[in-house]
Structure 1
């Protein structure tokens, strides 16, 4: 069990114990919490494990019964706040318009006013009592959850399956009941836990300030009476004030930890951000080692996950790329192409595990360098045009500034010099000068692809990796990109690896082709050889389909 899971388990165990204590308080408490059963100010002893208060009431019994009130108020208030948040958030997202404006302005108002200050004012007028406290806390705590749920619902309404449901005539209420609520329930659960932590804190604060119900026991009430009746002066604070204070603090911390765990379930990106880099087998640096190419892959084996559910993405893959050579990597979806690109960049992260082999760039193996040296290699010796290049831009900065940032990362240039260098490379790749100051959203797909290629080339890398470079481009855009890559490679003697599903594009570019299937290299050779005599069944199917399409197209043109 990992450390984070151990903490979550401990938090859950703490909450479960006190929930059970709250439910079974009458039977578990050794005494009636309202009765005087001992000498006043008695320290902890055999008859009273936590001692007694100033009127002889057993403090352990108060603590157990106080859990019932504190957890009841916190849970009920959180339930009410979450219900309001779900209703307001979904209504605002689905119906929009006037509903959205009114509800979100109300949310803004609730978030602007400090919750504790407002609670103090309202509680002073409404009075004490469990039910009024629950209503007050629910009214104070719904706003944050409503904003979060609205944001997630708006994002979900833009997804293809929701648009398809609306196109089929689905009513808004049906969409909410049958789909959105089910899809959002993990987020709702996380919001409930966080609201309960806030409600528990506010209830304890109100009770400590004397605004709680004096007829019931609660953790905040114990703190109030300990302070009001001189526990600090008499030294009884150690057994009167510390236990309820610890219970409030640890319960809120446990709820927060449980809420973070639920958020990670809702947002996988949080788990990915926490996951560390994959561990490479340690390879001692060898100054006498002679590199066979700019990129060398030796018997690389990578798995995702552990145990029976583990998936082997790469299985003993080997190969090398020489300076000035252009190598194409093709294969079906799930064959390991993206994993190979990520490994070549040294960016594999958990749950990926490198079981064996090595990847070396310009003679340096990823298993033999520290984080600082790895950052120096990326962008300078090896650069990547990612599969998501069309959408991987910072929307708040002009393109030329982002390319200049890549220059400044690796070269000791002034801001003006970095910008001039960025403009020069953008011009080299055919990016229009008049568009260099534009923001990414204002550019066409081809322009964004060219700009990203300029960013990859701006520091003069020895190796360029292109992951699905023609994705999202029309035929003319694909042709321009192929010519551009081929020309820049030949001029600079730069090694290039092109990873793609698009076999015709790879055939036009590559000097050698590597075919991946099920994580293994099943075929490699020059493009002509692959076309004339494919050996593997997958390659034969792809080449056959390509020839059939070409023949059909030619027949239509002739006809």
Structure 2
């Protein structure tokens, strides 16, 4: 478990540290210093009150109560900590596993946790202590089992928050096994609240275990702990209260110590990292393969269930990429660009349904592969660069770990070999090898995006999906990133699917452009035709909305009037018809297919913008 890099300096921290040290010293030294006096009977000093020789009095055999309370520190703490750690381990593993298992298993685990939480933990501990039998071991086990549901619910809630992050989706691309996702990516990122809960639960376990011993279900004679000492002194509470209060004060002191320790550590513990899951996958075989393609997608569709009904944000999308080709995918926000990329990378939400006629990556039909083969093929043949590297990179892991785990998991590379490859990947993206030793929060936005690109290069992918990688960057860094991607394309011949809403950037950077609107491709054309050769009214409107230094600054910038269609109530005709200045009656009745205007230009429009009109307008 990670520890703070600096010692806490608040008064509470110093008080908690002093109290913890005192308990540790007593647990280690008390049996050696006072163990003999604690076990030595003295018939001449039976049931004595406090005195100079016996500050807390003696018990019914004349043994010194103070020595017994101090000596009981070790067993009381050990049994309480053991019960807490056992309960926390079982509960955390049970709850956190819901983030990495399939939906059916997740529902079963959730139902089990809900069932266990229906019974009060203390009642469960009492019943189990009776069932297991009296003794320190059975009492400890009973408390551990009773504590599992609480830890499981906490871990389940925390893991659910981690499961929706971008860096967890990035980890899924790596194709890591579930146990590795759990240990490396889920548990470390929920360590801080779990640490607080565990330390405070230790105090609760100490009180509960002392209660079981007080009732005769815990530590049995001749052994003793604070609970049993409290029981033995209770009969004298009215005549001689000190022998009864002494073990009670010890219990209170230790419980408060654990509480303060949890509060202090919760503010200083560093987090580590989360995990993946698997989306539903198509089963039907793909259509015929086309030679020489890195990616071949035909008739791709995505359905998402919502409380108001099923929506289809992606409908009938077909695209292909050849080695070394950069294809831009542009459109307004909500047009389906990112969902298309996530469907290709198999990173859609669990309840999403994907349909397609063909989906091939590097010549392999993804539907024909087993789940294990598909995960490996996607992890090694595909790299995804997300829009926000600050969330896509795990904040709890060093850059070295995030760059090397892919090659170590899929190629069996040694730690040294993986580190050397990571340093080389950083060099290729213009970062020094010293970057391996830092964490993402220590880097700038442009540096984090370079690290994301370097992570993708580690697997030597045939396809790089760049999902708006320059949106959050300034213009200078944006140019650096696009230039870097161009160099990678030239050096590795990797195909790049570049998703953006910046039409001007796509026109300069890409070889071909696909324009999406309302989940469909409405125009596909060479990038050099984007400025003057667009034929679809929507594409024309996007191009016209790009600011131009020669434009009249006294007039407002042109925009695409209207709003995209409601995905819950799609119209039967062209989706752009309500916003189109060239619409006619046919546009509202029939959706136009994507048809060829020439071998390199396709458009989905019944009445395309004439080229002559465009040239005149330009």
Change (3 A) 1:203 1:339: same
1:284-363 pair list within 5 angstroms: 289-291=289-291, 293-305=293-305, 309-363=309-363
SS in 2 for 1:505: helix
Change (3 A) 1:389 1:261: closer
Shift of 1:482: 0.9
Aligned to 1:400: 400
Q: How far apart are the structure 1 equivalents of 2:460 and 2:278? A: 29
1:182-224 CA-partner distances (Å, limit 9, x unpaired): xxxxxxxx99994863254256569x6xxxxxxxxxxxxxx99
SS in 1 for 2:353: strand
Shift of 1:495: 0.8
Q: How far apart are the structure 2 equivalents of 1:365 and 1:502? A: 32
Asked if the contact 1:281/1:358 (under 8 Å) is kept, the reply is no
- Farther-moved stretch of structure 1 (410-419 vs 315-324): 410-419
Change (3 A) 1:269 1:327: same
Mind listing any 5+ residue stretches in structure 2 that lack a counterpart? 1-8, 25-83, 85-112, 134-145, 166-274, 556-618
1:451-502 CA-partner distances (Å, limit 9, x unpaired): 1101111222111110111132111110100111112112322211101122
Shift of 1:347: 2.7
Aligned to 1:490: 490
RMSD of aligned C-alpha atoms?
4.6
2:205 pairs with 1:282: no
Shift of 1:361: 0.4
1:211-243 CA-partner distances (Å, limit 9, x unpaired): xxxxxxxxxxxx99xx9xxxxxxxxxxxxxxxx
1:248-296 CA-partner distances (Å, limit 9, x unpaired): xxxx99x969x96997699566699897521313217x9x844351111
Change (3 A) 1:366 1:349: farther
SS in 2 for 1:535: coil
Q: How far apart are the structure 1 equivalents of 2:479 and 2:553? A: 18
1:197-276 pair list within 5 angstroms: 197-202=120-125, 204=127, 267=160
2:479 pairs with 1:479: yes
Change (3 A) 1:369 1:191: closer
Aligned to 2:581: none
Asked if the contact 1:379/1:456 (under 8 Å) is kept, the reply is no
Q: How far apart are the structure 1 equivalents of 2:277 and 2:480? A: 39
Aligned to 2:410: 410
2:507 pairs with 1:507: yes
Q: Aligned pair count?
A: 345
Asked if the contact 2:343/2:354 (under 8 Å) is kept, the reply is no
Shift of 1:529: 1.9
2:548 pairs with 1:538: no
1:147-186 pair list within 5 angstroms: none
SS in 2 for 1:291: coil
SS in 1 for 2:350: coil
Aligned to 2:454: 454
Q: How far apart are the structure 2 equivalents of 1:278 and 1:500? A: 26
Aligned to 1:178: none
Change (3 A) 1:553 1:436: farther
1:157-200 CA-partner distances (Å, limit 9, x unpaired): xxxxxxxxxxxxxxxxxxxxxxxxxxxxxxxxx99994863254
SS in 1 for 2:357: strand
1:424-443 pair list within 5 angstroms: 424-443=424-443
SS in 2 for 1:436: helix
Aligned to 1:519: 519
Q: How far apart are the structure 2 equivalents of 1:376 and 1:270? A: 21
Shift of 1:312: 0.2
Asked if the contact 2:388/2:472 (under 8 Å) is kept, the reply is no
**Which is richer in helix?**
1
Q: How far apart are the structure 1 equivalents of 2:318 and 2:353? A: 17
Change (3 A) 1:414 1:270: closer
Q: How far apart are the structure 1 equivalents of 2:554 and 2:292? A: 43
Q: How far apart are the structure 2 equivalents of 1:425 and 1:266? A: 31
Q: How far apart are the structure 2 equivalents of 1:278 and 1:98? A: 50
Q: How far apart are the structure 2 equivalents of 1:99 and 1:533? A: 71
Asked if the contact 2:278/2:347 (under 8 Å) is kept, the reply is no
Shift of 1:314: 0.9
Change (3 A) 1:275 1:407: closer
Q: How far apart are the structure 1 equivalents of 2:343 and 2:497? A: 13
1:102-134 CA-partner distances (Å, limit 9, x unpaired): 9999xx9xxx9xxxxxxxxxxxxxxxxxxxxxx
Asked if the contact 2:390/2:441 (under 8 Å) is kept, the reply is no
Aligned to 1:35: none
SS in 2 for 1:335: coil
Change (3 A) 1:554 1:418: farther
SS in 2 for 1:384: strand
2:388 pairs with 1:465: no
TM-score, normalisation: structure 2: 0.47
Q: How far apart are the structure 2 equivalents of 1:548 and 1:403? A: 41
Q: How far apart are the structure 1 equivalents of 2:509 and 2:520? A: 22
Asked if the contact 1:331/1:516 (under 8 Å) is kept, the reply is yes
Change (3 A) 1:554 1:372: farther
Change (3 A) 1:330 1:494: same
- Farther-moved stretch of structure 1 (306-315 vs 356-365): 306-315
Change (3 A) 1:266 1:553: farther
Q: How far apart are the structure 2 equivalents of 1:274 and 1:418? A: 22
Asked if the contact 2:327/2:512 (under 8 Å) is kept, the reply is yes
Q: How far apart are the structure 1 equivalents of 2:158 and 2:426? A: 41
Change (3 A) 1:549 1:330: farther
Asked if the contact 1:291/1:362 (under 8 Å) is kept, the reply is no
Q: How far apart are the structure 2 equivalents of 1:375 and 1:266? A: 22
